[in-house]
Amino acid sequence: MPEGLPTVLRVALPIPLPQCFDYLPPKDGRIGPDWLGCRVRVPFGRGDGERVGLVVDVGPAGHQATDLRPVLDRLDAEPLLAGELLDSLRWAAGYYHAPLGELVATALPAPLRAGQPLPDTAVHAWQTTTGGRAAADAGRDGRPRRLLRLLLAGPRDETWLDQAEPGWREPMRRLQARGLVERIRCDPVSPAASGPTAPAPEPTPGQAEALAVLRAGEGFRALLLEGVTGSGKTEVYLRAIAEVLAQGRQALVLVPEIGLTPQTLARFRTRLGVPVLAMHSGLADGERARAWAAMARGEGRVLVGTRSAVFCPLPRAGLIVVDEEHDASYKQQDGVRYHARDLALVRARALGVPVLLGSATPSLESLQNALAGRYGHVRLAQRAGGARPPVVRVLDLRRRPLRDGLCEEALQAIGTCLERGEQALVFRNRRGYAPVLLCHDCGWSARCARCDSAMTVHAGGRRLVCHHCGARAPVPNACPDCASLGLQPQGAGTERLEQALAERFPTARLLRVDRETTRRRDALEKHLASLGNGPGILVGTQMLAKGHDLPNLSLVVVVGVDEGLYSADFRAGEKLAQLLIQVAGRAGRASKPGQVLLQTHHPGHPLLTTLLAGGYPAVAALALAEREAAHFPPFAHLALLRAEADHEAAVQSFLQEAHRLFEAREGVIANGPMPAPMPRRAGKARGQLLLEAARRGPLHAALRDWLPALRALKSARRVRWSLDVDPIDL
């Protein structure tokens, strides 16, 4: 140790600066390795500013500093983030070129980030008293009596009640006040109070093969499980998790934002027989912190969560599952732009546990890893339980009249479906009445003043809304350019489709599901439940592509296929194929065969013909060959420098200087400055610089040298800039 340098605590703080900060121990304190991974409150900046940070190193100060200040408070007696998780965060900070303090902040639920203590995670259950058992048969029917009878079969813990009996607390308190039930603390690790469990079906040969891969050997391995909706992927997850639980270990299941439904949780719960913790954006901060703490203490056994759940501590890890691994919601699009699937792989490797990636439509990245032999690969070809795959047909729209976006053949198919007492889904990934308002006399169209984008027509044709910045305007009475009265909404969004379907099928039950009608996750479930099993029509956006099972749904009509066929984004084809397969998977989940109709003006487009002839595997093979030829991911590695500012000139000069500073090195190319896909958005000019490399190593070495120079640029202060490693939208 260099003579004379004081021992300090190196603290990662949640601020957008790359370095960590040195602090002395508190006045009367002693420094030791036990500080590592604990949160501290420290003075920061001038005046009496304070921050909560994490001690990430304990050692001699980097230099003979005279201005070191002591920490104000130590907030944890035991390390909060240590071992594998802290190492994985360090790795991620390096990989995404983000400050470690920001990664720590991303990993911690808000209350912990703010310095609050780890919450109490005791599990409580309810059971009947002697008096309650006697009273269960007497009295009036109703909620309290039903709860009482439920508890007669055995105690039930509160997470089970939350999931199975929403709104149970009030009636339960009344029972408690009458001395009929009592609240007990139960051991979360071997819960006696788990409620009924459901038996597991015998695995199919494909499922057995997947499970055998997971059982074979020890330590890290990755398995890509490819199977259409209904092919039995979730059954594989459940069996694999059950095996891990039997060894006393924990499982983490990542699901896309849209896939975490109460049904999913209930299914996991009843099959696994242990409390299943959830973590998603719909939960209150306190609940997230509790789930995090329960996992950190090893009490929580199974966590099902969306993107940020990948940062949960797993001291007794046994398995990580990533469902719908191709889903774009795994990529964080602001702050630290991490990809939860990729971090799941990094963590599984560090933890020495298997990782299971499931999808009907795997990302080309994962497929390529499987083809190269880095991942195991099992395909579940058939639908489990005997359901047949849907029949997919293309409806050629050329020279056929469209009525508000639907052709006559589609309308007739919907009519037949309703007559049979079944349900139809009309899928359109565009909300609003119409995507464009056009003047038929001069060609003027309504555009947003602050974005490079058309305004969408809403409210039955009365209002204009920009979907990118939220700007609103009334629809003009006459064309602002030529004063013509011939303004016409072009094309159809969900709102117009709903209106047209209501006119054509006036007696049918009709339900529209998009961001306007359905803001909350549970609203979607309620909505869908209200449709019941009777005949009816669902109209909606991507929100309908997943979630709630609709066993009576036998027809899917897809509107607006063509928009995805001709897009500048190199991932557009992959995304469209994934979406089409996903939506098609909604048809005929039960015994009835389903039908899928794709409306298009381009029936001969290679993507559609390939999809129809060979399904997703054929499209993926085609796309992989194209990517290889064009040197795009997964055959190349990208990083994107984005910048935005009020003025185009500021963006340009920053990106140009950035390009000049970028030292050419073997195998790494910088392209640009180029305009962003939307060069103006919400009044800001936007541009970007794209870095490409055949190998990751040189790209990251280049970024490491480049970023400090970028931060020092004067022009960097006149823009908002960010670096996106492995961007998914260019």
Was 448 annotated as part of a binding site? yes
- Residue 464 touches Zn ion, criterion: CB under 5 A: no
| Residue 634: contacted member of ligand ADP, Zn ion, none (CB under 5 to 8 Å, by partner type) | none
- Paired tokens of 227: 């199977």
With CB under 5 A as the contact rule, which of the stretches 18-26, 51-59, 79-87, 438-446 interacts with Zn ion?
438-446
**Nearest one of 491, 486, 489, 490 to 441, comparing CA atoms:** 486
Kindly tell me the sign of the dihedral angle through the C-alpha atoms of 423, 429, 434, 439.
negative
| Residue 451: contacted member of Zn ion, ligand ADP, none (CB under 5 to 8 Å, by partner type) | Zn ion
Contact 379, 206 (CB under 8 A): yes
Number of residues that bind Zn ion (CB under 5 A): 15
- Residue 385 touches ligand ADP, criterion: CB under 6 A: yes
Min dist. Cβ of residue 259 to ligand ADP (A): 10
Token pair 């599952």 is found at 321
Min dist. Cβ of residue 549 to ligand ADP (A): 8
- Paired tokens of 127: 């059971």
| Residue 136: contacted member of Zn ion, ligand ADP, none (CB under 5 to 8 Å, by partner type) | none
Among 79, 171, 227, 540, binds ligand ADP (CB under 6 A): 227
With CB under 6 A as the contact rule, which of the stretches 225-233, 444-452, 483-491, 572-580 interacts with ligand ADP?
225-233
- Residue 384 touches ligand ADP, criterion: CB under 6 A: yes
Residue 78: how many other CB atoms lie within 10 Å: 10
- Residue 402 touches Zn ion, criterion: CB under 5 A: no
- Residue 230 touches ligand ADP, criterion: CB under 6 A: yes
Query: Which region holds residue 370: left if phi is over 0, alpha if psi is between -120 and 50, else beta?
Result: alpha
Contact 181, 127 (CB under 8 A): yes
Kindly tell me the sign of the dihedral angle through the C-alpha atoms of 240, 291, 109, 284.
positive
Q: Which is nearer to ligand ADP, 348 or 380 (CB)?
A: 380
CA dist 642 → 211, 328, 572, 575, 588 (Å): 43, 19, 20, 22, 44
Contact 324, 358 (CB under 8 A): yes
Min dist. Cβ of residue 358 to ligand ADP (A): 7
Classify residue 1 by burial, with Cβ atoms within 10 Å: 0-12, 13-18, 19+: exposed
Q: Which is nearer to ligand ADP, 211 or 639 (CB)?
A: 211
Distance, in Å, from the CA atom of 618 to the CA atom of 611, rounded to the nearest integer, reads 7
- Rounded to 5 degrees, what are φ and ψ at 207? -65, -40
Give me the half-sphere count of Cα atoms (radius 13 Å) on the Cβ side of residue 98: 25
Token pair 């191709």 is found at 326
- Paired tokens of 580: 């089409």
Q: Which is nearer to ligand ADP, 547 or 633 (CB)?
A: 547
| Contact letters for ligand ADP, residues 114-143 (x by CB under 6 A) | ------------------------------
Query: How does DSSP assign 286-345, residue by residue?
Result: HHHHHHHHHHHTT---EEEE-GGGGG---TTEEEEEEETTT-GGGB--SSS--BHHHHHH
Distance, in Å, from the CA atom of 514 to the CA atom of 429, rounded to the nearest integer, reads 9
Number of residues that bind ligand ADP (CB under 6 A): 15
Among 448, 497, 513, 643, binds Zn ion (CB under 5 A): 448
Among 22, 76, 102, 235, binds ligand ADP (CB under 6 A): 235
Q: Which is nearer to ligand ADP, 231 or 499 (CB)?
A: 231
Query: Which region holds residue 421: left if phi is over 0, alpha if psi is between -120 and 50, else beta?
Result: left
- Residue 494 touches ligand ADP, criterion: CB under 6 A: no
**Nearest one of 631, 582, 581 to 607, comparing CA atoms:** 581
Was 38 annotated as part of a binding site? no
Min dist. Cβ of residue 20 to ligand ADP (A): 43
- Residue 489 touches ligand ADP, criterion: CB under 6 A: no
With CB under 6 A as the contact rule, which of the stretches 226-234, 693-701, 704-712, 714-722 interacts with ligand ADP?
226-234
With CB under 6 A as the contact rule, which of the stretches 223-231, 400-408, 626-634, 667-675 interacts with ligand ADP?
223-231
What residues form DSSP beta bridges with 323?
A: 358
Among 296, 353, 451, 597, binds Zn ion (CB under 5 A): 451
In a 3-state reduction of DSSP, which class is residue 124? Answer: strand
Displacement of CA 255 from its chain's centroid (Å): 7
Distance, in Å, from the CA atom of 320 to the CA atom of 343, rounded to the nearest integer, reads 11
Was 186 annotated as part of a binding site? no
Min dist. Cβ of residue 375 to ligand ADP (A): 18
- Residue 234 touches ligand ADP, criterion: CB under 6 A: yes
| Residue 322: contacted member of Zn ion, ligand ADP, none (CB under 5 to 8 Å, by partner type) | none
436-439 vs 487-490, strand pairing mode: antiparallel
Was 482 annotated as part of a binding site? yes
- Residue 231 touches ligand ADP, criterion: CB under 6 A: yes
| Residue 468: contacted member of ligand ADP, Zn ion, none (CB under 5 to 8 Å, by partner type) | Zn ion
- Which amino acid is present at 555? L
- Rounded to 5 degrees, what are φ and ψ at 463? -130, 150
| Residue 235: contacted member of Zn ion, ligand ADP, none (CB under 5 to 8 Å, by partner type) | ligand ADP
| Residue 325: contacted member of Zn ion, ligand ADP, none (CB under 5 to 8 Å, by partner type) | none
Q: Which is nearer to ligand ADP, 330 or 662 (CB)?
A: 330
Residues 192-211 touching ligand ADP, rule: CB under 6 A, are: 201-204, 207
Q: Which is nearer to ligand ADP, 230 or 491 (CB)?
A: 230
Contact 581, 228 (CB under 8 A): yes
Among 109, 232, 540, 594, binds ligand ADP (CB under 6 A): 232
- Paired tokens of 571: 């991932």
Token pair 């009295």 is found at 139
Kindly tell me the sign of the dihedral angle through the C-alpha atoms of 684, 690, 691, 696.
positive
Was 417 annotated as part of a binding site? no
- Residue 488 touches Zn ion, criterion: CB under 5 A: no
Q: Which is nearer to Zn ion, 443 or 593 (CB)?
A: 443
Please name the residues in contact with 712: beta carbons below 8 A apart, sequence gap of 6 or more.
none
Contact 381, 220 (CB under 8 A): no
Write out the binding residues.
Answer: 439, 442, 448, 451, 466, 469, 479, 482
Residues forming contacts to Zn ion in the complex (CB under 5 A) are: 439, 441-442, 444, 448, 450-451, 466, 468-469, 471, 479, 481-482, 484
Write out the binding residues for Zn(2+).
Answer: 439, 442, 448, 451, 466, 469, 479, 482
Residues forming contacts to ligand ADP in the complex (CB under 6 A) are: 201-204, 207, 227, 229-235, 384-385
